[in-house]
Structures are given as C-alpha cells and as structure tokens.
A = this chain, B = another copy of it.
Amino acid sequence: MITLIEMGKQAQAAEQQLSQLATVKKNQVLKTMAKQVRQASPEILKANAIDMQNAEKNGVRKVMLDRLQLDKERINSMAEGLEQVAGLADPIGEELKGWTTEAGLDISQVRVPLGVIGMIYEARPNVTVDAAALTFKAGNAVILRGGKEAINSNQALVTALRRGLQTEEVSVDSIQLITDTSHETATALMQLTDYLDVLIPRGSAKFIKMVVDKAKVPVIETGAGNCHVYVDEGADLQMATDIVVNAKTQRPSVCNAMEKLVVNQAVAAKLLPMVAEALKPFNVDLRGDERAKQILPEISSATEADWGTEYNDYIMAIKVVDDLDQAIAHINRYNTKHSEAIITNNYAHSERFTKEIDAAVVYVNASTRFTDGVEFGFGAEIGISTQKLHARGPMGLNEITSTKYVVRGNGQVRK
C-alpha cells in the first residue's frame, strides 16, 4: 500500500502543475469531472450499496444512514456542484495590494494557492466531491480522508474524479484519497507537516476537537456555534419574534442556528409570550432563568450547563438581562465566537454590540442563519471558521488561498 509520505510527495509534484493551470483549463477539468461522475453512476451506486449494507450490519443510526445513502439524484447534484464551481470566479492571480517603496521597488501582493490541503471528515460522501471541486478550483492539491463507513462510495467517486483529471491530462495526484481508514493513518495525516500546508476537518464539534488536539499540521477549525439573539429595549417585537423563530427552527441541527435568547427586562414581559406562542408549532423545549420563568411559568429551569451548550436541536434557553452591558457580558462569556445578533432600534446600542461582541459574524436585525458562504455571496462554502487565524467566518474559495509578494526592481540593493 502507498504510504502517506509518498502521497504527500505526489501531491506536491501535482501542485507544481496545478498552481500554474489557466482558469479556462481548470473550468474545463471541472466540467469533465462532472461528466465522469455522471457516467460512473452505476459503479458509484454499487459501491454505496456495499457501504449501506455494512453500515446496517454495524447498527449505524438511521440519521447517519440517510447521510450515507446515494441515489441517482444525489449523484447528479454532486455533478452539478462541480459545474457550479467551474462557474465561480478564479481567486488565483488576483492582485490584493500594490505600491512602490522608498527604494523604488514595485511590490504587488497576489493570490496564490495554499498548496496541499488535507481534508478529514466523517460519513457524508458528498463532502468528497465538494472539497475536491473547491480545492482544485483554488489551485490546491488535496488529500482526502473520509469516514470508514463511506469508504467504498468515496473510492468510486474519487476514481471518477481522477478519470476526469486524466482525460484532461492534469496530474491525477491533484486529488488523492486515503483508503486505509485506520485511526493510525488519520493521526499520521494530521502530523504530515512536511507535505501538508493546512488541514481542514469537517464533522461534529467532538470530532473537530479531536483533530485540533492531535494535529501538528496547521488546522482551520470549523463548526461549533452556541449562537445568541439579544432583544433590546425598544426593539420591534414582531421582527424579534420572526427572527427568533427563523434562527431557532429553520434548521436547528446546523451551527448557525440560534441556541439562546437574551432579553432586555424592559421588553421581556411582552416578548416572551409572543415567542413562546410562535414557537409552539415546532415543539421547542424552552428553558428559562428565574426572571424568564416568572413570565413563562410553564417552562423548565435553565441550569449553568445550558448557557454553554450548543443543542443543535429544538431546545432554547432564555436569559433576562438588565441592560446591554449584561447582555454583552453574558454573550462574550458563553458564546463560541460564531454568530450573534442584536434586535434593536437604538443606533448607539447597535454600534456597541457589533464592536464589543467577539464573534466571526455579528448581526443587527437579521437571523443568525445567514452565516453561510452561499448566503454571503461566495458561491460555495468549504466550512465556517471559528478561529481568528487565517480565515474567520464563512470560507469560500478566497479562504483556501495564500499570497505571495512579487517585487520588481531595476537593480536595487539595500543600504
């Protein structure tokens, strides 16, 4: 079996070609990969059936089985994803800054690929195609390590993608899959510092924490979101209710869903019954602090553990605060620096909230659910970074690039 070091070397060699590919060529390759994925549908479905059988035998949960299962439609939408990435603007070569120095040197800072990216993820096979498309478009070689449940599906998908590369005479090692799904190999990938420029994990908060702990390669941390909506004194309470319902219930399993409602005491008595009523159809388990329970006696009590928990479920805890200061202090104490919103009509409060809250995305009068690469207009998303280094918030193609300074002179030497 091929070793990780060999894979790393092959990826670096492929990257030298890939980093120089013209945009039209990259787009052509993506379209050819889409064609190959469609043509390989029978083999992909066959491989997926084996994964499904194994998963059922191993008692994998129904939710996971649903994520794992492929059908004609899902394969077609993967192919469409490849074609959509072909349509996105190429980030490589963009000049970010340019100036002339005192010594008369012309400096320009240009976007270049990051290099070799490691992607490590759990069950869903569509991440394989997604990640390969985006990393390729940004000129990066990728080494993929998906979950062992999806190994047969992933192999069939990567075979199709590599057939696309081969047809277009681009190095097939631009996209490589690790087929040994042991924990040892995963750990070795996380420590492949001589070959990987960055590692992007995708999966549960627990999975990502494990990767951050074990990795020696720089990691872009994605994911966890304990998101708050603060409703200020004087806010439009109908707007607040609509936003809370949307942020909490539109898709509660995702990281930008709201988990906590923080309410100014001046509006709590009016707002909380409106919110409770509006959430009724969704059967949301409401948990409140003392003051919230005085207004909504039927709800259960929030404990200290609630304030720091990301439920990813139909649960919401409610905190009543005296003023904006308390709201900001509470949110900065418990949030995961993902997405936080204030509903207000007070200009000074909106300014204070956006400046003082430490999070990747801070909203005024909008749902936290907009934290998303496509909603932001990036055309695609490789994840949502919750760290402050390199990229923060939704990551599109720009966020999987680096830069290089090009300096043009006419014989300058340093004095």
Chain A interface (Cβ < 8 Å from any Cβ of B): 16, 19-20, 99, 101-103, 105, 107, 112, 114-115, 193, 197-198, 212-213, 216, 218-220, 236, 239, 242-243, 245-247, 250, 332, 350, 354-356, 358-367, 369-370, 375-377, 387-390, 392-393, 402-414
Oligomer: number of copies: 2
25 A–B contacts, CB within 8 A, in A order: A16-B358, A19-B358, A20-B356, A105-B370, A107-B376, A114-B389, A115-B358, A198-B389, A213-B216, A218-B218, A218-B389, A242-B411, A354-B406, A360-B405, A361-B405, A362-B406, A364-B407, A365-B410, A366-B410, A367-B412, A369-B413, A375-B414, A389-B390, A389-B402, A392-B405
Complex Cα distance, B114 from A102, in Å, reads: 29
Complex Cα distance, B363 from A404, in Å, reads: 11
Chain B residues near A197 (CB, 8 Å)? 387-389
Chain B residues near A387 (CB, 8 Å)? 197, 218
Complex Cα distance, B375 from A413, in Å, reads: 11
Q: Are A367 and B405 in contact (CB under 8 A)?
A: no
- Cβ-neighbour of A388 out of B20, B362, B388, B402 (below 8 A): B402
Nearest first, the 5 closest Cβ-Cβ pairs linking A and B are: A366-B409, A246-B413, A388-B402, A369-B414, A390-B390
> Knowing that A19-B358, A103-B375, A366-B410 are A-B contacts, what are 19 other residue pairs whose CB atoms are under 8 Å apart, sorted by A's residue number?
A20-B356, A99-B377, A107-B376, A114-B389, A115-B358, A197-B388, A198-B389, A218-B387, A218-B389, A236-B411, A239-B411, A243-B413, A354-B406, A362-B406, A363-B407, A365-B409, A369-B413, A389-B402, A392-B405
- Cβ-neighbour of A414 out of B250, B361, B403, B407 (below 8 A): B250
Complex Cα distance, B359 from A239, in Å, reads: 51
With CB as the reference atom, state the residue of chain B lying closest to A365: B409
Known: A404-B359, A407-B361. A366 touches B412 (CB 8 A): yes
Chain B residues near A414 (CB, 8 Å)? 246, 250, 367, 369-370, 375
Complex Cα distance, B240 from A409, in Å, reads: 12
Min CB distance, A201 to chain B, in Å? 14
Chain B residues near A389 (CB, 8 Å)? 114, 197-198, 218, 220, 389-390, 402
Min CB distance, A105 to chain B, in Å? 6
Min CB distance, A139 to chain B, in Å? 11
